[in-house]
Chain A
Amino acid sequence: MCGGGYKMKLEGRKIYKGTAEAEAIVTKDGISFYGGVDPDTGKVVEVGHELEGQSIAGKVFVFPTGKGSTVGSYTMYRMKKNNLAPAAIVNKQIDTIIAVGCIISEIPCVDQINTNEIKTGQRLIVNGTEGTIEIID
């Protein structure tokens, strides 16, 4: 490897197929898309959330697990239609709402990843077909 670029590959489990390369936005808090994320701005709006006010649109969204109402799957679909969905999702442990949301919105998704190893701002390649992610800088 030349140029001294940092590269690391993490093996997880495939949840939804497809690949994406984008900047990571990472939180240690759970996420409820229904009520917790504004599908018309792409911003986290849950009061007191670590990412409150920040946009997840077009990024690799890295969080431990989903929470809250099953309507959250539809919120993710709405974000996709608004071109404000995350480019990919990486979880420690997937839950039903996020899994179904990724499938209906066609967002590449991998879980069983130690999300503590990823930092906001790092560039990631998520391969939802293989269930792997690469940190490329």
Chain B
Amino acid sequence: MKLTLEEQDMLDGKYGNATQKSVEILITLGDIFDADGMVDVHGVQIAGVSYANLGEAGLEFLSEMAEDGKVRVLTTLNPAGMDRENWQALGIDEEFAKNQNRAIDAFAKMGIITTCSCTPYLIGNSPHYGQHIAWAESSAVCYANSVIGARTNREGGPSALASAITGKTPKYGYHLDENRHGEVLVKVNAAVNGTDEFGVLGKIIGDKLVELGKKIPYIEGIPEATIEELKSFCASVATYGGTALFHMEGITPEYNKYPKPVDISFEISQSDLNKTRSELIDDDLEIDFVSIGCPHASIYEIERIASLLKGKKVKKEFWITTARPTKRIADEAGYSKIIEEAGAKFAADTCCVVAPIKGRFKGIMVDSAKACYYGRAKNQFKVKIGPIKECVEEAIK
């Protein structure tokens, strides 16, 4: 790796301990992946925020970095283990809340904006086409690379923090044109509609990519897609396939920048969609929990939930997980009042994946294929996927 004078000074400790440690991490990663130098990043998204994942060790590392570390670029956080205001109503215990706040305080001390959300692109950490960023959070990485056309590798918690503190990332992988072309042609021969169905599509493509040992699909046959459908698709294809970048013909900005893959292809039919949907609905299901907002609900989705819940009462635990700024818009628009009067709960700053709710419910209904994966694996729930409308109907049934 060629270092600039400034980077060499960072390595020599002239900018303090946190910067030195950070640049050491980035140089090592650059050497491992054969980067020839660093590139400046315009923004950072940090994962590893939930105390359930960090533990005391992670917290100690963050506290040490916060002693003299300050971020150089706009940096936001992934969801935490709890809603920072409403945690008691969501059944989070006090000890956990205390520790979670210690972690968030350490991030705040470094100058990080502590909106805890997996959709930074909806709340102002919004890169432009072609910009280099260093993001953790697999669904947001996939969204930034694919839907926006920004450039990031799949960072982990410490490497993203290192980029925030130095403003740099080693230039390899998805930062380079040569690694961004499609590898597998996916022909979709079915109508795909709604966040749930785009999640099902993401699982089919993700599973198939793992089987093929490939990462970047080029998808054709999708005439249109909303932001909500794309964020659901990103979360799913990243969860099941480890995908950080896809191209979608006529939809994503780089689809015609590189040659269309021809050597490897597969097709997806309506019956494939039906079959995979059924894999995301468990047998002997007893639903006692409904959650919408994986990834975090947009204001459009909250408006829809409010209109479906108006004048009704929910009979099951029902969470709407979202970013706090989005929740504030919902407050001002009057949607929150309608939703809370119906007995549903907002869980801002957190989500059904990272909150410490393992074993607390029997069955969860969601509109997200990613939430199905973690609901099963991490929280040991039975799962059912369905459109938002059916999720709301289940909650009031």
Contact = CB atoms under 8 A, between A and B. Distances in A.
Interface string B12-39: 0000000001001100110110000000
Interface residues of A, number: 19
A1 to B, nearest CB: 34
A2 to B, nearest CB: 39
Nearest to B157: A70
B156 A97 contact: yes
A67 interface: no
Contact of B158 (A13, A15, A16, A73): A73
A39 B158 contact: no
Interface in A18-56: 39
B32 A15 contact: yes
B32 A74 contact: no
Interface string B262-306: 000000000000000000000000000000000000000000000
A117 B310 CA distance: 69
Given A104-B21, A104-B158, A99 B57 contact: no
Contact of B61 (A13, A77, A96, A99): A77
A52 to B, nearest CB: 21
Contacts of A13: 31
B32 A94 contact: yes
A7 interface: no
B261 interface: no
B69 interface: no
A132 interface: no
14 contacts: A15-B28, A70-B156, A71-B58, A73-B157, A74-B61, A77-B57, A77-B58, A77-B60, A77-B61, A78-B56, A78-B57, A97-B156, A103-B24, A104-B21
Interface of A: 13, 15-16, 39, 70-71, 73-75, 77-78, 81, 94, 96-97, 99-100, 103-104
Interface of B: 21, 24-25, 28-29, 31-32, 47-48, 53-58, 60-61, 136, 156-159
Given A81-B60, A99-B28, 4 more contacts: A74-B61, A77-B57, A104-B21, A104-B61
